[in-house]
Structure 1
Amino acid sequence: MSLAKRTLAERWLQGAYQGSPWLSPLRPLGALYQWAMVRREQAYRTGNKATWKAPVPVIVVGNITLGGTGKSPLVAWLASWLVARGWSPGIVSRGYGGKAPRYPLLVTADTNVAEAGDEPLMLAQQTGLPVVADPQRVRGVQALVSAGCDIILSDDGLQHLVLARDIELVVIDGARGLGNGRCLPAGPLRESPNRLQRVDAVIVNGDFQPSLSVSTIMQSATIMQLAPLCWRRLEDGARFPLAPLPFTLPVHAVAGIGHPERFFQTLSALGVEGEWHPLADHQHFNADALSFADTRPVIMTAKDAVKCYALAPPNSWVLDVEATLPPEFEHWLAARLSALS
């Protein structure tokens, strides 16, 4: 994506979340898109379109908004939680940003990111579990079941309705909510806000901002926090505590994620100062993107790091984070899984 196109896309997304009036002429198109998505969901729910049911439980983690919401950290948390309770989970992902010579692609910690995509590779490295990338998620799930997985986590599969699911979890960015509440292209929504009434749980990433216009179901949602875990030196993987900072200030911080401002705010809260460089989500990095006129340390997200091992300057660092959820959510999830047995 060229810089001009990326800037236009970012301007549109910012306007969609802030309710910019210049998007008003697009409301009829948004209403048409919403109608089409409702009809599509109804077709699957009523059996007019076929779904495939896996022989093991399937948990879908998705969203109804464009831009980053924190789905992948939740998937990593769920994977760890399930392993601790005796499950053998596998993770399926579309593999956005990657192109493999054949699918399904079993993603390991050493898979080429150009084939796997950034999020599947990050999850494989973080969890050590079987991860499969496949645009046809049913085929990916079949590969995971054949590999011995007894429960499936589908990363960003809410709208992939051909794959039947036992539990749907929707993640919403607490800072941005549902934006102007309208569907594409008049707003940031992939589906109507009413879709939240038909999922099993809504999880808000970060403190909920009551000033935003949101549905009432979000006001009773589970709150998830992304907590900084440690600093990781990119060149050798060595880990360091959050304080004292293991690098000098100021820094260059880059973020090719859906909501870069969240990452930069976290850095500021940790006492990091420097220049912030927001990039496009799933940014394709090259050496020039990480080449600065000075020798300041470069700080990045774990999602970006998987694309930068061979590109980043020596003094590059990753801030690793982990999701935290309340005990009430754990109790609810345990009960739901028990009921599926």
Structure 2
Amino acid sequence: MIRIDPDAFLRLVRGETKGPVACLGRFGLGLGSVGYRAAVAVRNAAFDRGLKTIYRASVPVISVGNVTLGGTGKTPMVEWLARWYRERGVRVCIISRGYGQDGAINDEGLVLEENLPDVPHLQDPDRVKLAHVAVEELETELIILDDGFQHRRLARDLDLVLLDALDPFGLGRLFPRGLLREPVSSIRRGHAVILSRADLVSDDRRREIRAEVRRRAGAVPLLEARHRPRDLVDGDGEPSALDGLSGARVAAFCGIGNPEGFRRTLEGLCGEVVGFRGFPDHHPYTADDVDSLGRWADGLGVNLVLTTQKDLVKLRTSTLGDARLRALRIELEILESAEPLETLLATLLPGSHGGSKD
């Protein structure tokens, strides 16, 4: 199997890698995008025209997804939704494919399990089967489909599309030449668009993004959100306050889809980030990784290393070398008013009579 360095791939498609070989590589990736676009178009048309079967669960389904590769904040959005419905007494189940799970629940599932102990989370590539299990065996009243925008076999009553404000449109190109999973115009299938990490870009940039969404998706509800730092957690999941980070010198690392978003959050929270290391998304940390990170932290002379909760649930340690290791736990916060989204969610409460866009 050929292994691709994700950082090298990103530098190539962003145009940061120069020279004739890089230009030839981008040309080849562009040709690959042509075939990819055709395959996506054929698949979507088959669902749109009823040529592929769509299974409808006996309870409402909400999909949280995106149109780009990489992290857009789907897990915090899923957690926000699950809490909203649990606060109203609804039995919720989260289902997802489980990327990188290797036979066990993956890192995102572990995070949701830690933060939502009263909400079951099922993982399997066959999400239609999972929906049946959720309803028949767990007596679920509402299903949240994590990373489900492209999984069209399971009908959904609400499609929530997340765009990351740091790169909302995947470099404007389809994979493999860019980071789009499908054309930006696909967001018109959504019932609402949430612009995550909106606090990390300028007001002018937010207006530009909003204008492009309106051009592509019309009058669909468009909300802005941020990833609000909540607290720190150690390797045992024990929380502690954020007090003291404002003047702290820290090192940080992560293996997530959007490391830049994590880095920027830390830069606004800590005194100084003296070192930052990135790993591929869903990176399976080894003992050698832990030793290497410990030597790295000791060499930087810091007594606190920060990572994401998604990384720490796999490491399950509270120290790296002589430094303390903590995860920054974040939660989604809707900026301004969440009313447009809550109005949609309320239509799916038991006893309501919500409709479907499908």
CA root-mean-square deviation: 2.7
Quote the offset at 1:260 in angstroms.
Answer: 0.7
In structure 2, do the counterparts of structure 1 residues 311 and 7 end up closer, same or farther at CA, with 3 Å as the change threshold? farther
**Separation in 2, partners of 1:26, 1:4:** 13
CA 1:218–1:308: 2 relative to 1, 3 Å: farther
Contact 2:13/2:26 (<8 A) preserved: no
| Pairing 1:32-43 to 2, within 5 Å after superposition | 32-43=35-46
Q: Deviations over 1:252-287 (max 9, x none)?
A: 201111111111111111124221112211111113
Q: What's the counterpart of residue 310 of structure 2?
A: 303
Shift in Å at residue 2 of structure 1?
Answer: 9.3
Residues 233-262 of structure 1: CA deviation (Å, up to 9, x unaligned):
x2343322222239x943320111111111
State whether structure 2 residue 323 is matched by structure 1 residue 322.
no
Instruction: Decide whether the 8 Å contact of 1:202 with 1:218 is kept in 2.
Output: no
Q: Give me the whole-angstrom Cα distance separating, in 2, the residues matched to 1:78 and 1:41.
A: 27
2:307/2:328 contact within 8 Å kept: yes
Residues 1-341 of structure 1 mapped to structure 2, 5 A cutoff: 5-12=5-12, 14-15=14-15, 23-24=26-27, 26-100=29-103, 115-128=104-117, 129-145=119-135, 146-207=137-198, 209=205, 210=207, 214-215=212-213, 216-217=215-216, 221-232=222-233, 234-245=234-245, 249-273=248-272, 274-289=274-289, 290-293=293-296, 294=298, 296=302, 297-310=304-317, 313=320, 315-325=324-334, 326-337=337-348, 338-340=352-354
Q: Is the 8 A contact 1:178 1:214 kept in 2?
A: no
CA drift at 1:324: 1.1
TM-score if structure 2 supplies the norm length? 0.81
Displacement after TM superposition at 1:13 (Å): 5.3
Quote the Cα distance in structure 2 between the aligned partners of 1:205 and 1:76.
14
Identity, % of aligned positions:
34
Runs of 4+ more than 6 Å apart:
1-4
Work out the CA distance in 2 between the residues paired with 1:132 and 1:275.
36
Distance 1:13 1:278, change over 3 A: farther
What are structure 1's unaligned runs of at least 5 residues? Answer: 101-114
SS at match of 1:197: helix
Alpha-carbon separation, structure 1, partners of 2:256 and 2:101 = 16
Q: Which amino acid aligns with 1:203?
A: I
How many pairs were matched up? 322
Question: Partner residue of 1:107?
Answer: none
DSSP-derived class of the 1:339 partner: coil
